[in-house]
């Protein structure tokens, strides 16, 4: 069954740059319906992990499979198609087109899915209503609060119903009240079946999620889903 295939599977994944080992033999499996945090300080490897899981970067060695597809076997075009169809991204700074309405910012999330303009806008309107912005369809980013902009970004990320949602410091540009509201929205999306990885340096956010994966020096130092005898450094 497709549902039994892990959404993310890393086996011995490494990523090296000249003079730097950013990922050092990482093993990680994320199953459908999980809500997990990848947490660590700056330089821990969590951003490299995001890039590799998001297929924005290929591993130097090891296996990386996303939604059952081994990315080493895919051409650049196939990789782009996988990214468009299977992965939704949420970024700290929203990445919305400033002169474009909330409706079309979200509809643009379906540009590479072969969906016509009318259907794109219909689906965008439905998902904006789902995230509580049904009355803001025509508003441009400059007319929205930070929390509302992040909701638009979340709507854009999920409008294509991706297998995986990657949220990179999703509350980093928000005040505490808006940040809590965004995290609650992510929990609601997860409860409805979306698999979500939150990449963060915020330990409080990480501890509020069902699973924590702690990165340090390019390695997984702790995984709350792993047996104690498999956690690195455990006695």
Number of folded domains in the chain? Answer: 1
Q: Judging by DSSP bridges, how do beta strands 164-168 and 87-90 pair with one another?
A: parallel
Residue 234 has pLDDT above 50, yes or no: no
pLDDT at site 228: 54
How many angstroms separate the first and last alpha carbons of the chain? 37
Q: Is 18 a domain residue?
A: yes
Residue 119 has pLDDT above 80, yes or no: yes
Cα torsion angle, 92, 93, 97, 102, sign: positive
Q: Is 15 a domain residue?
A: yes
Q: Is 235 a domain residue?
A: no
Q: Is 218 a domain residue?
A: yes
What are 32-59's pLDDT values in tens digits?
999 999 999 999 999 999 999 999 999 9
What are 172-208's pLDDT values in tens digits?
999 999 999 999 999 999 999 999 999 999 999 999 9
Q: Is the pLDDT higher at 230 or at 224?
A: 224
pLDDT at site 188: 95
What are 130-144's pLDDT values in tens digits?
999 999 999 999 999
CATH of the domain at 215: 3.40.50.300
β strands within the chain, DSSP E: 8-17, 20-30, 35-39, 61-66, 69-70, 87-90, 164-168, 195-200, 211-216, 219-223
Mean pLDDT over the full length of the chain = 93
Which residues have C-beta within 8 Å of that of residue 77, sequence separation ≥ 6?
none
44: containing domain: 2-230
Q: Is 35 a domain residue?
A: yes
Residue 235 has pLDDT above 50, yes or no: no
Residue 114 has pLDDT above 90, yes or no: no
pLDDT at site 229: 45
């Amino acid at each position: 069954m497709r549902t039994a295939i892990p959404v993310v599977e890393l086996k011995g994944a490494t990523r090296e740059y000249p003079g730097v080992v950013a990922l050092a033999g990482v093993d990680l499996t994320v199953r459908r319906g999980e809500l997990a945090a990848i947490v660590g300080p700056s330089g821990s490897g969590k951003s490299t992990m995001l890039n590799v899981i998001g297929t924005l970067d290929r591993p130097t060695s090891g296996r990386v499979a996303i939604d059952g597809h081994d990315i080493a076997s895919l051409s650049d075009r196939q990789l782009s198609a996988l990214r468009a169809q299977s992965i939704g991204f949420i970024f700290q700074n929203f990445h919305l087109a400033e002169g474009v309405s909330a409706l079309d910012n979200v509809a643009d999330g379906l540009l590479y899915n072969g969906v016509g303009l009318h259907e794109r806008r219909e689906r965008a309107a439905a998902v904006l209503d789902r995230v509580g912005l049904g009355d803001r369809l025509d508003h441009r980013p400059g007319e929205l609060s930070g929390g509302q902009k992040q909701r638009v970004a979340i709507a854009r990320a999920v409008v294509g119903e991706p297998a995986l949602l990657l949220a990179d410091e999703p509350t980093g540009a928000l005040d505490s009240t808006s940040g809590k509201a965004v995290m609650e929205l992510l929990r609601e999306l997860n409860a409805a079946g979306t698999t979500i990885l939150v990449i963060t340096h915020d330990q409080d956010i990480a501890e509020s999620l069902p699973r924590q994966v702690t990165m340090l020096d390019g390695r997984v130092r702790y995984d709350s889903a792993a047996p104690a005898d498999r956690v690195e450094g455990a006695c």
